[in-house]
Amino acid sequence: MKLENGKSAVPIPSVGADGEQPIPKNSEISIAESDLNSNPLEHDFDEMFWRMQQLDDPAYLHTVSMSELYDTVFQSKPPVIDGLLHAGTYLFAGAPKVGKSFLMAQLAYHVSTGLPLWDYRVHKGTVLYLALEDDYRRLQERLYRRFGTDSTDNLRFATGAKRLGAGLNEQLQKFVRDHPDTRLIIIDTLQKVRDSGGEKYSYANDYEVVGRLKQFADSNGICLLLVHHTRKQQADDKFDTISGTNGLLGAADGAFVLQKKKRTDNTAVLEISGRDQPDQRLYLARDMERLTWEMERAETELWKVTSDPILTAVATMVNADKPTWDGTATDLVDALGLSIKANTLTRRLNINAGRLLNEYGVRYESSRSHAGRRIRLMLIPLKA
């Protein structure tokens, strides 16, 4: 675009605060009402124009302040399975024939139907299972033994797919476009879609492989489970037994490791570690008749975020009788009967917008115009 002085304006690129999560170009910036007088729109335009000019400097590094982070609303996706599986990219590793694929099919079925898995709440959505080491006959037999004739159109299978860098990304992207409610994609196994040849076992290559898949998962807000093998050598840290270099785990958001003491055992331990949940250890037992894994016990209690009184107050105010609310932050402070500053409330809601939506079903929006900043709250029915 051309500005009045004839200079060209180049859009400011989105840069992640930590190098991983980019700040959306269309994010809604919430500025405290008390700052409106000291930071009028003309001042904001001058600052934006100054930043545009910095792009001409090859040494320019775009940074984001802590205050800017607090004044930005990031819409987040709900977990796929509460306390167990979130949006992102995860490795699911175990020895050959330990029962990984059986557990993957079980996860896929529960997510596609919304039925609780063990003691965990499940959020329903479409699931794509790339069963690249199976055929449709075997899938049919195993699914019938597990779930009988109770089927679902939300669970879709493929026994063949292209490789990463040779069309896989395009295939997955088209599937998500055709099924916008997709929550989970399982690739069984990772080795089947890796590039053939090259430095297969270097840290850089392992990191790049998972990193490219993570980029796809993050951009679409879905969970991607990569089934992989463990090596025979034992290790004090079970996650060190994942085959390959640490680059795989380093690029992933977390990992699951399924292990048995003996191959013939009908019991196993599932170790879980990730960025969005505390480490867990689940003790599982296999039902040989139905080919399902049942949880006997968890070593630690399911971790839950402590309740936030402000979010609870908002959820109480925005209900079926009054599903929307509009006003300023000052109006909202008065409506909730709080004794906090308006800008403090705004930032609390900016930071917890995703939680307010996912846990309470209330969508929070903040916008600014010449008349000032407005807050809008809307009741959104929670899905299973």
Residue 5 lies in a domain: no
Number of domains in the chain: 2
- Taking only the tens place, the pLDDT of each residue in 84-104 is 899 999 999 998 888 899 999
Tell me, yes or no, whether 343 and 273 share the same domain.
no
Residue 77 or residue 189, greater confidence: 189
C-alpha closest to that of 216 among 285, 256, 164, 257: 164
What's the pLDDT at 264?
A: 80
Tell me, yes or no, whether 223 and 247 share the same domain.
yes
What's the pLDDT at 223?
A: 96
**Given a cut of 90, is residue 78 above it in pLDDT?**
no
359/364 Cα distance (integer angstroms) = 13
Domain end position, chosen among 237, 269, 298: 298
Confidence grade of residue 114 (pLDDT, cut at 50, 70, 90): very high
| Max Cα-Cα span within the chain | 77
Residue 326 lies in a domain: yes
What's the pLDDT at 231?
A: 80
Would you state the structure tokens that stand for residue 167, as one six-digit string? 């069309």
C-alpha closest to that of 75 among 380, 368, 384, 292: 380
- Record the pTM: 0.76
Residue 280 or residue 17, greater confidence: 280
Would you state the structure tokens that stand for residue 82, as one six-digit string? 């509460």
Tell me, yes or no, whether 162 and 278 share the same domain.
yes
Cα dihedral 332/338/340/345 (nearest 10): -40
Residue 19 lies in a domain: no
Tell me, yes or no, whether 310 and 294 share the same domain.
no
Which whole number is the average pLDDT over 52-56?
70
Tell me, yes or no, whether 248 and 279 share the same domain.
yes
Tell me, yes or no, whether 318 and 200 share the same domain.
no
Residue 358 lies in a domain: yes
Domain end position, chosen among 274, 298, 322: 298
Q: Is there a cis peptide before residue 300, judged by omega within 30 degrees of 0?
A: no
What's the pLDDT at 20?
A: 43
Q: Are 230 and 259 in contact (CB under 8 A)?
A: yes
Residue 23 lies in a domain: no
- Give residue 169's region: left, alpha or beta (phi > 0; psi -120 to 50): alpha
Which range has the top average pLDDT, 57-71, 198-212, 324-338?
Answer: 324-338
232/186 Cα distance (integer angstroms) = 24
| Helix (H) or strand (E) segment spanning residue 173 | helix 168-178
**Given a cut of 90, is residue 177 above it in pLDDT?**
yes
Q: What is the 3-state secondary structure (H, E, C) of 220-273?
A: HCCEEEEEEEECCCCCCCHHHHECCCCHHHHHCCEEEEEECCCCCCCEEEEEEE
Tell me, yes or no, whether 187 and 284 share the same domain.
yes
When the pLDDT of each residue in the chain is averaged and rounded to a whole number, the result is 83
- Taking only the tens place, the pLDDT of each residue in 18-31 is 444 444 444 444 33
Q: Residues 6 or more apart from 5 whose CB is under 8 A from it?
A: none
- Taking only the tens place, the pLDDT of each residue in 138-150 is 999 989 988 988 8
Looking up tokens 């050959």, which residue turns up? 96
Residue 106 lies in a domain: yes
Tell me, yes or no, whether 153 and 53 share the same domain.
no
Which whole number is the average pLDDT over 69-89?
86
What's the pLDDT at 29?
A: 40
Q: Residues 6 or more apart from 20 whose CB is under 8 A from it?
A: none
10/339 Cα distance (integer angstroms) = 43
Which whole number is the average pLDDT over 50-61?
75
Q: Are 95 and 261 in contact (CB under 8 A)?
A: no
C-alpha closest to that of 182 among 209, 211, 212, 219: 219
CATH number at residue 237: 3.40.50.300
Cβ burial 40-73 (10 Å sphere, 16+ → b, else e): eeeeeeeeeeeebeeeeeeeeeeeeeeeeeebbb
Residue 328, class by beta-carbon neighbours within 10 Å (0-12 exposed, 13-18 middle, 19+ buried)? middle
Tell me, yes or no, whether 212 and 285 share the same domain.
yes
Q: What residues does 270 pair with on adjacent strands?
A: 258, 282
Cα dihedral 326/332/335/338 (nearest 10): 170
Residue 12 lies in a domain: no
What's the pLDDT at 212?
A: 94
What's the pLDDT at 195?
A: 78
What's the pLDDT at 170?
A: 96
Tell me, yes or no, whether 290 and 319 share the same domain.
no
Residue 22 lies in a domain: no
What's the pLDDT at 162?
A: 95
Domain end position, chosen among 264, 298, 332: 298
Tell me, yes or no, whether 174 and 255 share the same domain.
yes
* Domain extent at residue 270: 88-298
Tell me, yes or no, whether 221 and 156 share the same domain.
yes
Percent of the chain with pLDDT over 90: 46
- Taking only the tens place, the pLDDT of each residue in 235-286 is 777 787 888 888 888 899 999 999 988 878 889 999 998 887 778 899 999 9
Residue 46 or residue 218, greater confidence: 218
